[in-house]
Structure 1
Amino acid sequence: MNPQPAGDRLPREYLRIGFALVLGAAMAMLDATVVAVATRTLAERFGSALSAVAWVTTAYLLTMSVVVPLAGWAMDRFGGRRVWLVAVAAFLAGSVLCGLAWSIPSLIAFRVLQAVGGGLIQPVGQALLGRNVGPRYMARVMAVMSIPMALLPVLGPAVGGVLLAEAGWRWIFFINVPIGVAGIVLVRRWVPASVPGPAGGARFDVRGFALISPGLAALVYGCSAAGDHGGFSAPAAWGPVLAGAVLVTVFVLYSLRTRIQPLVDLRLFRDKAFAVAMLNTALMGATLFGAMFLLPLYFQQAHGFSPLRSGLVLAPQGVGTALSTFAAGRLTNRVGPRVLVMTGTAVATAATLPFALVGAHTSAAALLAPLFLRGLGLGLVMAPLIAAGYSTLRRAAIPQATTTFNILNRVGGSIGTAVLAVILVRGLAGGAPTASRVASAYGATFWWALACTAVTLVTAAFLPGAKAMRAALAAAATHQAADAPAGAGGSTGSTGSTVKTAEPVSA
């Protein structure tokens, strides 16, 4: 059973669990941002074309797309903590081998191993957090743990620049080792061992895996190719996108009819709160990943900033996100996800407007305040969305729910990034890259980013309000009490004992 805290204060035990698990996610995110900075350096060191080095990232993303659907099944079959530990170990092994790589092909192969672990770290860690913390404190723990995650996109380029300049490219991979080892030690110490879920004895959904994993990989690859080739009309783009869409559609039809436990349980969408939260998750994935692609490029191309400086100039957005995420965690159960998500989306939309209006003489300093406000808005969104999605689910459904969350977030991000890349490439094509032309192309692209953010206002209106959230949490508490004795994916210590009552803290 979960500890019963005094009053409504956040148990210290939950913060320990969250801190231990966030180390894995932070390691994977830091790796992604640092490797992105090193693309040109790797091309020079190995004497390879940039198109070949790009597969260092592409192979990683495709492998993650294949692995993510396995997260829910693996947790039910082997237990969440064991899967997380194996995933981090695989990521560390891949990191060490990447640091020892002797050629681009060997580096790509080792990145695939790294991605096998990386694809499981985030969904399994999130599911473990949901199972141990429960829906009542999910938003608050997620908010506290999201603070370092909000700052990493800012710190990553700086860390990458320092490592490349002072230690050499191999250390952009070796830096993962101390973080991952610390995560393994703390998870073994602070996160209770998980028993397999009630579906753990079910046979593996081979047909579902053969449909959903290559389908997602094809979609992600096609979207990436669309950005590289300036549109979805290129065969390298529309071919994989079409194939991926067909495979995913067939999987949807199959999963709704199969009698075995599907790899991704789409029947969870019968729950209104979960369905609306997942729709918002896909839209926010497009907004977040699309902006992460667009903003650094804008400062590099329109203002001539280096990758390091463009990363640092985004610091106000990271600070804003960290501040508002913490506040959102405390307010979610009190005012409901609907108010917070709609408020955050409105603020983020308004703060994107100055980027849509940029001109040839717009200074970078003039955009710092909008970046901070955009970060404030985005920080109000993610924790309430996760809390809303989990609020009406039984603990046994959390692995499947987390898998679905990560798939939609990733696919939404791929589509959003591809669409913005296509619009930007077309805006820049056909003329000399003058200051006015560059500003005009980015301004037009930011209008589309603004529209994508604004759409979430409509879907957010259907999220639970304060009254519905309180009712859902009360029902969840009843379900949790009923589920705990059966050990339906619950958390027990390594000796089978339940978690001790946690010491409450103010957070």
Structure 2
Amino acid sequence: MSDQRRGADRLPREYLKIGSALVLGAAMAMLDATVVAVATRTLAEKFGSTLSAVAWVSTAYLLTLSVVVPLSGWAMGRFGGRRVWLTAVGAFLAGSLLCGLAWSVPSLVAFRVVQALGGGLIQPVGQALLGRTVGPRHMARVMAVMSVPMALLPVLGPAVGGLLLAELGWRWIFFVNLPIGLLAIVLVRRWVPAVEGMAGRGSSGGAARLDVRGFALIAPGLASLVYGCSAAGDHGGFGAPAAWLPMAGGVALLVAFVFYSLRTKVAPLLDLRLFANRAFSVAMLNALLLGATLFGAMFLLPLYYQQAHGFSALRAGLVLAPQGVGTALSTFVAGRLTNRVGPRVLVMAGTAGATAATVPFALVGASTTALSLAAPLFLRGLGLGLVMAPLITAGYSTLRRESIAQATTTFNILNRVGGSIGTAVLAVTLVRGFGDGAPTAAKVASAYGTTFWWALGCTAVTLVAAAFLPGARAMRAALAQAAPATPSGAEDRESAAAAA
């Protein structure tokens, strides 16, 4: 490799600083979700409430996320990416403080909505800021660095939650966000450049108006779809009126949004014309399927260890450590190889590895030990770690920089919808597997084995979609045409009016 090529591939230190600052916010939001899930039973006991009522602490958060995420692209174009990110983290911290001071379940649910108003913007806006600042050439390697803590958080979350509940009390599962978020704000203000030009189609130098009609269709559409998927798991199937009615209404609203967005003459909330780009559309399809695979497994694996092996939430999280370690290791490989071998090879290899490593879980029996599943967990983590960074890079590689905000919003919406659908399918399958009667060890093992077969099938479908991602030649051509990013971001700095 020539010195010129080696210099072009070297990752500037400024990009690592930008990625580290932005990942703190995303890690804070993800840690909060994991810790709160562990505390459900404790919250019910402290407030003298039922588990179904306390479940709205998480449900209200998820529904609010569905409403807020579609606004991220417009908000970045209107106010500037860095300003929106800082405001989102501030709202999340305010909500965390209020949650820690809550005096009842209704007050806690209301304050979780405040949290979600910020939490729904942190990840898509941070991802867009990263893409706009570092550019497609370095995107995979920076994403790999950011993915390491994100891979470990599902393992650390239950442990952190258990320790906080045992030593400091339930209020600290929310107060713990305050120092993390404040540090993230300080670092982003110091290291992340303010960039403009993050609006989508229809933004001619200035910020587009909010597409109110589009928002009135997509926000309730997504919320209804997510709620219906959640209700399907709670009511034992998609045939329950509580599940299929909101799902049908959500799908109808989303279809109406698609027709409206393609015909409107104003700047739409989401630029669906980006799907005319083959690399982008294939990457978004993979994002949808990957969401189902990742979130479905995150729901199923801890439950398996708790019900089939009798582990506590803390111990179940620690047992999942091999998967987190495997993911953290392979993300470095993915980041270094994406530009060289292309996303297709890495995503297919990672998906195939994750699929094969899921087979032992589909074959579990009453005598299966947790130790015997440690190696498959590690291999599954290795496979998953090869997927995310190449997938995001493939989606951004052929887009103009001003389209990245819209692309990030679309990616996050599809990833969350896929996660809701995947989790619902696995939850329904698991409930039906238990059937009636006492849950004997054999019945529990059989129910989880059947459900893991469904998880394996979902992962295998992702393998088919990955075959259509760009190869090495297409990736090199896209990167050659991409404008080089500058760490200072001077060419994209916000106007004086926006900064005032």
What TM-score do the two structures reach when normalised by structure 1?
Answer: 0.94
Structural mapping, 1:401-412, within 5 Å: 401-412=407-418
In the alignment, residue 260 of structure 2 is paired with which amino acid?
Y
Structural mapping, 1:470-489, within 5 Å: 470-477=476-483
Partners in 2 of 1:77 and 1:106 — Cα distance? Answer: 32
SS of the counterpart of 1:102? coil
In the alignment, residue 146 of structure 2 is paired with which amino acid?
M
Tell me the residue number matched to 1:110: 111
In the alignment, residue 185 of structure 2 is paired with which amino acid?
I
Superposed CA offset, 1:376-410 (max 9, x none): 00000000000000000010000000000000000
In the alignment, residue 76 of structure 2 is paired with which amino acid?
M
Partners in 2 of 1:491 and 1:363 — Cα distance? Answer: 56
Partners in 1 of 2:324 and 2:360 — Cα distance? Answer: 18
2:153 is equivalent to residue 152 of structure 1 = yes
Tell me the residue number matched to 1:141: 142
From 366, 369, 386, give the equivalent of 1:360.
366
In the alignment, residue 300 of structure 2 is paired with which amino acid?
L
Tell me the residue number matched to 1:176: 177
Structure 2 residue runs of 5 or longer lacking an equivalent are: none
Partners in 1 of 2:321 and 2:67 — Cα distance? Answer: 33
Partners in 2 of 1:77 and 1:471 — Cα distance? Answer: 32
Structural mapping, 1:383-402, within 5 Å: 383-402=389-408
Tell me the residue number matched to 2:47: 46
Partners in 1 of 2:381 and 2:239 — Cα distance? Answer: 34
In the alignment, residue 177 of structure 2 is paired with which amino acid?
N
Paired-residue identity, %? 79
SS of the counterpart of 2:464? helix
Partners in 1 of 2:184 and 2:281 — Cα distance? Answer: 32
Q: Which has the higher contact order (CA 8 A, sep 6+)?
A: 1
2:452 is equivalent to residue 446 of structure 1 = yes
Partners in 2 of 1:491 and 1:409 — Cα distance? Answer: 30
Tell me the residue number matched to 1:342: 348
8 Å contact kept, 1:193–1:494 = no
SS of the counterpart of 2:269? coil
8 Å contact kept, 1:192–1:493 = no
Shift of 1:231: 0.3
Superposed CA offset, 1:429-475 (max 9, x none): 12321111110010000001000001111111110000000001111
8 Å contact kept, 1:192–1:494 = no
Partners in 2 of 1:397 and 1:248 — Cα distance? Answer: 21
Shift of 1:196: 4.9
Partners in 2 of 1:460 and 1:40 — Cα distance? Answer: 40
2:469 is equivalent to residue 469 of structure 1 = no
Partners in 1 of 2:198 and 2:235 — Cα distance? Answer: 44
Structure 1 window deviating more from structure 2 (437-446 vs 200-209): it is 200-209
8 Å contact kept, 1:10–1:137 = yes
In the alignment, residue 115 of structure 2 is paired with which amino acid?
Q
Partners in 2 of 1:324 and 1:154 — Cα distance? Answer: 17
SS of the counterpart of 2:404? helix
Tell me the residue number matched to 1:32: 33
2:68 is equivalent to residue 67 of structure 1 = yes
In the alignment, residue 48 of structure 1 is paired with which amino acid?
S
Structure 1 residue runs of 5 or longer lacking an equivalent are: 498-507
Tell me the residue number matched to 1:93: 94
Shift of 1:197: 3.7
Partners in 2 of 1:496 and 1:85 — Cα distance? Answer: 14
Superposed CA offset, 1:251-301 (max 9, x none): 001101111111011110000000000000100100000000000000000
Partners in 1 of 2:134 and 2:197 — Cα distance? Answer: 17
In the alignment, residue 370 of structure 1 is paired with which amino acid?
P
Tell me the residue number matched to 1:191: 192
Tell me the residue number matched to 2:334: 328
Structural mapping, 1:283-298, within 5 Å: 283-298=289-304
SS of the counterpart of 2:183? helix
Between the two proteins, the alignment pairs up a number of residues equal to: 488
- In structure 2, relative to structure 1, the CA distance for the partners of 1:70 and 1:233 (3 Å cut) is same
From 195, 209, 212, give the equivalent of 1:206.
212
From 236, 259, 266, give the equivalent of 2:242.
236
8 Å contact kept, 2:77–2:208 = no
8 Å contact kept, 2:198–2:401 = no
SS of the counterpart of 1:7? helix
In the alignment, residue 419 of structure 1 is paired with which amino acid?
V
8 Å contact kept, 1:132–1:491 = no
8 Å contact kept, 2:397–2:475 = yes
Tell me the residue number matched to 1:500: none
Tell me the residue number matched to 1:379: 385
In the alignment, residue 52 of structure 2 is paired with which amino acid?
S
In the alignment, residue 173 of structure 1 is paired with which amino acid?
F
2:320 is equivalent to residue 314 of structure 1 = yes
Shift of 1:496: 11
- In structure 2, relative to structure 1, the CA distance for the partners of 1:493 and 1:15 (3 Å cut) is farther
8 Å contact kept, 2:70–2:270 = yes
Shift of 1:8: 1.5
What TM-score do the two structures reach when normalised by structure 2?
Answer: 0.95
2:164 is equivalent to residue 163 of structure 1 = yes
8 Å contact kept, 1:42–1:169 = yes
Shift of 1:7: 3.2
Partners in 2 of 1:311 and 1:419 — Cα distance? Answer: 23
Shift of 1:412: 0.1
Shift of 1:194: 2.0
In the alignment, residue 405 of structure 1 is paired with which amino acid?
F
Tell me the residue number matched to 2:267: 261
Tell me the residue number matched to 1:77: 78
2:427 is equivalent to residue 421 of structure 1 = yes
8 Å contact kept, 1:77–1:196 = no
